[in-house]
């Protein structure tokens, strides 16, 4: 087991709101903030908490498809647009589809570990409401293997890949209970999001969420085994967080109680051109989590909260199994017993996750880190959950594509 050669912390997180359908401010016919506005808001939100950009050595920006959604490349050069003091500093843009954020975190962590930086500003962003969903589906399909998969793929390419996973799961473990677990997952996601004012579902007022979640899928207009409520929505958002060394904490004037320590992580890549061996398992995620546990030296039963990558209800369910809370085929029971809810033994996605909070694809990994930082340092406000003393650790799992690029990170409040 490799130990980190020095301590790495995260602090001063900032999430913009997740803008898209469901938010009262969202009107598809009216002008909205652009990519650079989101980057600036999130970046400045973090800089304000760390004494300004002068304290930052380096910048990392995570994004998936700005080149198509916003016709913008060279995103590293938008980091200096956050603050003048960032000009002339090293900046990097990383991309790993919806796992871009996780890659950004790891890139920043490695810089701090290498000693080439004491403080790194990590920003994640995606602005996707620039095109209709049917064209957005084309863009997001870039997370799959274009030459090998796109032509024979579905109009809604990614929902269909995960619909196939849901179908395989139904076949193996039964449909009825699994669909009920999906509906419960949706309900928990929205109920958590209603407590978090930056969440896309913050304004959701539906009374019977589980009934909505049980809407029969319509293969004619969408996919075979999932309905719209099984899917995360199209979101515009950015997130930022400072990744710092001990010296960086001091320089930025952040006390340890306001920071989380990174105990370990697992970064795993699968072959984009190889189909999953088993549709009913997130193998890459399982491997990434196992690595993260190994490197941090903690066990699953020491976790107090988890941010998982529930881009679809089925991916939420498969994450529960991949992390090992439930055995294969036992995820539906685990969810239906309420054990992943905010009152349950292991609260998942306490601000709504991808389905409730929103899914700004390339920014989600950073958003997850901010959520965990808020939760562990007592800054979660209405959506705060109690962290049991015996289970002080938190885990985030960020997945790119169909379980291809995965980063799992283990955190604890710094002391």
Whether 185 contacts 313, CB under 8 Å = yes
Q: Which contacts (CB < 8 Å, 24+ apart) does range 325-329 have?
A: 325/300, 328/280, 328/281, 329/172, 329/173, 329/280
Give the nearest distance from C-beta 218 to other proteins in angstroms. Answer: 10
Name the token pair of 274.
């190889």
Name the token pair of 250.
């001091």
Residue 162 lies near other proteins (rule: CB under 8 A): no
Which of 9, 156, 265, 334 binds other proteins (CB under 8 A)? It is 156
- Judged by beta carbon, residue 138 or residue 197, the one nearer other proteins is 138
Give the nearest distance from C-beta 157 to other proteins in angstroms. Answer: 9
Which of 113, 155, 168, 214 binds other proteins (CB under 8 A)? It is 155
Query: What residues from 191 to 210 belong to the interface with other proteins (CB under 8 A)?
Result: none
Please tell me the chain's helix, strand, coil percentages from 3-state DSSP, rounded to the nearest 5: 40, 20, 40
| x/- map, 44-73, other proteins, by CB under 8 A | ------------------------------
Q: Which stretch binds other proteins (CB under 8 A): 147-155, 166-174, 257-265, 363-371?
A: 147-155
Residue 279 lies near other proteins (rule: CB under 8 A): no
Helix pair 175-193, 313-323: axis angle to 10 deg: 100
Which of 87, 132, 172, 175 binds other proteins (CB under 8 A)? It is 132
- The CA distance from 303 to 305, in Å, is 6
Buried b (16+ CB within 10 A) or exposed e, 170-191: beeeeeeebbbbbbbbbbbbbb
Give the nearest distance from C-beta 220 to other proteins in angstroms. Answer: 7
- Judged by beta carbon, residue 60 or residue 141, the one nearer other proteins is 141
Coil, strand or helix at 133: helix
Which of 1, 134, 205, 389 binds other proteins (CB under 8 A)? It is 134
Pairing type for strands 8-15 and 259-269 reads: antiparallel
Residue 154 lies near other proteins (rule: CB under 8 A): yes
Name the token pair of 264.
């370990």
Residue 1 lies near other proteins (rule: CB under 8 A): no
- Judged by beta carbon, residue 135 or residue 386, the one nearer other proteins is 135
- Judged by beta carbon, residue 205 or residue 277, the one nearer other proteins is 205
Whether 307 contacts 397, CB under 8 Å = yes
Give the nearest distance from C-beta 22 to other proteins in angstroms. Answer: 17
Bridge partners of residue 398, in order along the sequence: 407
Pairing type for strands 58-62 and 91-94 reads: parallel
User: How many other CB atoms are there within 10 angstroms of residue 49's CB atom?
Assistant: 19
Whether 19 contacts 26, CB under 8 Å = yes
Which of 7, 32, 150, 391 binds other proteins (CB under 8 A)? It is 150
Closest to 235 in 3D by CA, of 38, 374, 409:
38
# binding residues, other proteins (CB under 8 A): 16
- Judged by beta carbon, residue 157 or residue 169, the one nearer other proteins is 157
Q: Which stretch binds other proteins (CB under 8 A): 6-14, 215-223, 235-243, 256-264?
A: 215-223
Residue 215 lies near other proteins (rule: CB under 8 A): no
| x/- map, 336-375, other proteins, by CB under 8 A | ----------------------------------------
Whether 166 contacts 314, CB under 8 Å = yes
- The CA distance from 124 to 146, in Å, is 24
| x/- map, 387-406, other proteins, by CB under 8 A | --------------------
- Using CB under 8 A as the criterion, which residues of the chain lie in contact with other proteins when the complex forms? 132, 134-135, 137-138, 141, 146, 150-151, 154-156, 219-222
């Amino acid at each position: 087991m490799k130990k980190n050669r020095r301590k790495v912390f995260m602090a001063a997180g900032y999430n913009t709101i997740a803008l898209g359908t469901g938010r009262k401010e969202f009107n598809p016919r009216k002008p909205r903030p652009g990519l650079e506005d989101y980057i600036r808001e999130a970046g400045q939100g973090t800089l304000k908490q760390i004494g300004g950009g002068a304290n930052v050595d380096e910048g990392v920006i995570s994004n998936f498809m700005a080149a198509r959604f916003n016709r913008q490349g060279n995103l590293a050069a938008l980091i200096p647009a956050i603050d003048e003091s960032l000009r002339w500093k090293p900046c990097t843009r990383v991309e790993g589809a919806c796992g871009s954020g996780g890659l950004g975190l790891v890139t920043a962590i490695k810089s701090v570990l290498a000693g080439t930086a004491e403080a790194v500003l990590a920003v994640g962003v995606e602005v996707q409401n620039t095109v209709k969903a049917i064209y957005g589906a084309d863009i997001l399909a870039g997370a799959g293997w274009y030459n090998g998969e796109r032509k024979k793929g579905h109009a809604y390419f990614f929902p269909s890949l995960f619909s196939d996973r849901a179908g395989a799961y139904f076949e193996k473990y039964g449909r009825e209970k699994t669909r009920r677990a999906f509906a419960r997952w949706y309900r928990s996601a929205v109920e958590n999001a209603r407590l978090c004012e930056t969440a896309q579902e913050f304004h959701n007022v539906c009374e019977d969420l589980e009934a909505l979640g049980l809407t029969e899928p319509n293969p004619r207009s969408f996919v075979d085994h999932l309905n719209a409520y099984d899917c995360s929505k199209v979101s515009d958002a950015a997130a930022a967080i400072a990744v710092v060394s001990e010296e960086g904490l001091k320089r930025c004037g952040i006390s340890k109680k306001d920071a989380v320590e990174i105990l370990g992580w697992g970064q795993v890549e699968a072959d984009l051109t190889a189909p999953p061996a088993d549709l009913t398992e997130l193998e890459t995620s399982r491997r990434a989590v196992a690595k993260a546990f190994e490197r941090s030296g903690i066990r699953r039963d020491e976790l107090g909260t988890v941010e998982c990558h529930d881009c679809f209800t089925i991916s939420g369910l498969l994450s529960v199994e991949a992390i090992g809370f439930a055995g294969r085929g036992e995820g539906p029971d685990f969810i239906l017993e309420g054990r992943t809810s905010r009152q349950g033994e292991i609260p998942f996605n306490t601000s709504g996750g991808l389905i409730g909070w929103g899914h700004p694809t390339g920014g989600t990994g950073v958003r997850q880190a901010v959520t965990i930082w808020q939760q562990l340092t007592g800054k979660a406000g209405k959506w705060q959950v109690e962290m049991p003393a015996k289970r002080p650790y938190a885990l985030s799992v960020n997945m790119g594509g169909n379980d291809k690029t995965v980063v799992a990170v283990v955190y604890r409040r710094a002391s």
